[in-house]
Structure formats: structure tokens, C-alpha cells
Amino acid sequence: MSMEKTNEVLDNTMVIVPIMGSYFDMSEFKVKPIKNLIRTFIYNLDSRMVNGQNYYVKRQHAVTKDHWLGKFLGGEEFTYFDVDQ
């Protein structure tokens, strides 16, 4: 394959990177507060550029205390992970 053909293919290529993350939904913390979501990152390739991406996995922590006694009795703890760019 020639360099021209290679560059043409690269210039017409799209890379799709789906990443699963999660978040805390405080409106439903009694049922299932940790919700999953899929983020999609789309990159158009360009034969004239070099591109690098960093993704960061963040550990999140939430403690629920649903009434005034919660500060004395403790609460329910949740740990979940999210990915950021």
C-alpha cells in the first residue's frame, strides 16, 4: 500500500472509544444509588497529526445520612469509579 493510500485511509477513519463509568444518583439512594453510564469519545484520525489521550480513573466515595440521627448512627457508604479525560 502506498503512502498516499495509507494517508487517505487514515484521514477517513473515525475511532470510537466507549468507556463505562458510574455516578451517584441521590434521588434514588434508597433503591440503587450507583448508576452506570457509558461515555463515548470520538476521534477523527488525521495523517498530518499525532494525537494522544489520557484517561483518568477516579475513585468516588459517598456516605448517605438520610435523617438528623445519621450523624450519630453513621450512614451507608458507597464507592464507585468514574473515568475522566
DSSP string, 20-43: EEEEE-GGGTTT--EEEEEEEEEE
- Residue 67's pLDDT is 59
- pLDDT tens string, the chain, 85 residues long: the values are 788 898 888 899 999 999 999 988 888 767 788 999 999 989 988 888 887 888 899 999 887 776 555 566 667 788 999 888 7
- Residue 59's pLDDT is 93
- Residue 45's pLDDT is 87
Contacts of 30 (CB under 8 A, 6+ apart): 66
Claim: this prediction has a pTM higher than 0.85? no
